[in-house]
Amino acid sequence: MAKVEYWECDGCGKRKGPDNHWFAATANNATTCGPVWVVYLLANAPAHGIKAYCGEQCLHKALSEWVGEQPARAKQAEAYPEPLVAGKPQIAKNAA
């Protein structure tokens, strides 16, 4: 008998198995993945910034929260611009 592995959802925190339709998301995109990829994604999650969600509801909630955070992040970036680094040219954001 094969050992069944369970993973924790980054949305609801519940532990579920490979029978779920898992979703994987990064800061750059959100993709649908099946049980075959879950083992790889969850094994590499901390290193690659991948989060796993156990269903559409958890994914939609996380996406809504992320979208809501974007205006605050943009304002913070304007208030605290990146410092100048020697040898690295800076491009003016508001060049007219």
Domain chopping of the chain, boundaries:
19-54
Residue 25 per-residue DSSP state: E
Give the CB-side neighbour count of residue 2, counting CA atoms within 13 A: 5
pLDDT tens, position by position, 6-36: 888 888 999 988 787 888 776 655 455 544 4
pLDDT tens, position by position, 47-91: 566 788 888 888 888 888 877 776 776 676 666 666 655 555 555
Q: Return the exposure string of 34-63: e unless at least 16 CB atoms fall within 10 Å of the residue's CB, then b.
A: eeeebeebbeebeeeebbbbbbeebbeebe
